[in-house]
C-alpha cells in the first residue's frame, strides 16, 4: 500500500515510520525543503508542496490512500480556511480524476468541534457544536471529507502530547482548572496506521483519545510529586483569563469542558501504547529527574 501523508509533521512523521516498519510505502508532503531533508534523513520519502497551491497539489504522486494531517497551527481563521477547506478541496479534485485514484482518505480532526459540554462525556454520537471560528472550519472540513468520492475516515484527536510537546515546565509552574483529554503522539499515529493496515473505520468518524480524562489541578500535583517539586500554582479559568489577557479563541478553548470516550476506537481493535497520561509522561519525568530539574 502506498500512502501519501499530506502534512508530514508531528503526527505524520511518526505515521510514516509506522507504515514503513509494517512494509508499506509512505510519502510525506511537507512545506519546505528543510523539512523534506529532515524526513529523508529519517528514511522517509518526502516531497515539497503547498497544499493551498492547486498546481503543486496536481503534481503530487499517486496513492492508494491519502492522510490529510496538515495543521494550520495557531494561524488565523483565514489561514485555517485556506488549508482545511480550499486545500482539501484541491486535494480531492486533483486525485479524483486520476487513472488510479486513492481508495480512501483519512482526515485528522480535533475534539474542539464538540464545543462546550460542561464537563459531560462525548463520543462519536455527540453532535458537533463548535464555539470558535477555527473549530467551525474544521467541522466543515470533516463534512467535506465525508462527501468526497473516496471512502473516508475522520480521526478526532484529543489534546496531543509526547516528545517535544510535554510542556512539563509549564505544568510545574502553574495549572488552570478543568478537564484534560489526551492523546499521545504515538497513539495518534498508531491509530491512523491501524485504520489503514486493518482496513477498518471506513466512512466513520472516530475519537482518538486515551479515554481517561484527568483534572488538570490533580494532574499538576501528581506531576510535581513525581518530579520532586512543590505543587504548582493553581488558577481558575476566570483568573487565567484576567491575568493573561487571552485571545477570544483561547478563552473559548479554556471554557470548553468535556470528557472524551474512546469506546469505538477500542472496538475496532486498536490497543493503546499509552493507556493514560500518567503512563505517557513517564519518559518526560525520567528525563527531568536525570537532568536534576534542568529540562
Asked if residue 150 lies in contact with residue 96, where contact means CB atoms within 8 angstroms, the answer is yes
Q: Give the mean pLDDT per block of 10 residues along the chain (295 residues).
A: 97 97 97 96 96 96 98 89 96 95 97 93 96 93 97 97 96 94 98 98 98 97 97 85 69 80 98 98 96 61
Q: What is the pLDDT of residue 236?
A: 85
User: pLDDT at position 4, please?
Assistant: 98
* d(C-alpha 112, C-alpha 93), whole Å: 27
- Up-side HSE of residue 30: CA atoms within 13 Å toward CB? 23
- Listed as own residue / partner, the contacts of 160-166 with beta carbons closer than 8 Å and 24 or more positions apart are 160/10, 160/11, 160/184, 160/185, 160/188, 161/185, 161/277, 161/280, 162/186, 162/280, 163/283, 164/10, 165/10, 166/281, 166/284
Domain boundaries, the chain: 2-161+182-211+259-274
pLDDT of residue 223: 97
Distances (CA, A) of 109 to 26, 62, 113, 219: 20, 23, 8, 25
| Among the listed residues 77, 88, 182, the one whose alpha carbon sits nearest the alpha carbon of residue 130 | 77
Looking up cell 494561524 gives 75
Q: Tell me what pLDDT residue 242 has.
A: 72
Other C-beta atoms closer than 10 Å to the C-beta of 293 total 12
Q: For the chain, how big is the Rg over CA atoms in Å?
A: 19
Pick the CATH number of 2-161+182-211+259-274 from 3.90.1170.40, 3.40.50.720, 3.20.20.140, 3.20.19.10: 3.40.50.720
Amino acid at each position: 500500500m502506498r500512502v501519501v501523508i499530506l502534512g508530514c509533521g508531528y503526527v505524520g512523521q511518526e505515521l510514516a515510520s509506522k507504515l514503513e516498519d509494517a512494509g508499506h510505502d509512505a510519502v510525506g508532503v511537507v512545506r519546505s525543503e528543510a523539512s523534506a531533508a529532515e524526513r529523508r534523513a529519517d528514511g522517509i520519502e518526502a516531497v515539497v508542496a503547498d497544499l493551498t497551491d492547486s498546481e503543486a497539489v496536481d503534481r503530487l504522486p499517486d496513492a492508494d490512500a491519502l492522510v490529510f494531517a496538515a495543521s494550520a497551527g495557531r494561524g488565523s481563521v483565514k489561514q485555517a480556511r485556506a488549508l482545511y477547506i480550499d486545500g482539501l478541496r484541491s486535494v480531492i479534485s486533483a486525485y479524483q480524476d486520476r487513472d488510479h485514484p486513492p481508495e480512501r482518505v483519512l482526515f485528522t480532526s480535533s475534539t474542539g468541534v464538540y464545543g462546550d459540554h460542561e464537563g459531560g462525556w462525548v463520543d462519536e454520537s455527540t453532535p458537533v457544536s463548535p464555539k470558535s471560528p477555527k473549530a467551525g472550519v474544521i467541522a466543515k472540513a470533516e463534512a467535506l471529507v465525508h462527501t468526497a468520492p473516496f471512502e473516508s475516515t475522520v480521526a478526532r484527536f484529543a489534546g496531543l502530547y509526547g516528545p517535544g510537546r510535554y510542556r512539563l515546565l509549564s505544568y510545574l509552574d502553574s495549572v488552570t482548572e478543568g478537564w484534560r483529554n489526551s492523546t499521545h503522539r504515538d497513539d495518534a499515529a498508531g491509530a491512523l496506521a491501524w485504520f489503514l493496515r486493518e482496513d477498518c473505520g471506513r466512512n466513520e468518524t472516530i475519537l482518538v483519545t486515551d479515554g481517561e480524562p484527568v483534572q488538570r489541578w490533580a494532574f499538576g500535583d501528581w506531576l510535581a510529586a513525581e518530579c520532586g517539586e512543590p505543587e504548582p500554582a493553581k488558577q481558575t479559568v476566570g483568573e487565567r483569563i484576567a491575568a493573561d489577557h487571552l485571545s477570544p479563541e483561547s478563552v473559548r478553548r479554556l471554557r470548553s469542558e468535556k470528557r472524551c470516550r474512546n469506546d469505538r476506537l477500542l472496538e475496532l481493535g486498536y490497543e493503546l501504547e499509552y493507556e493514560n497520561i500518567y503512563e505517557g509522561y513517564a519518559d518526560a519525568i525520567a528525563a527531568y529527574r536525570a537532568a536534576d530539574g534542568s529540562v
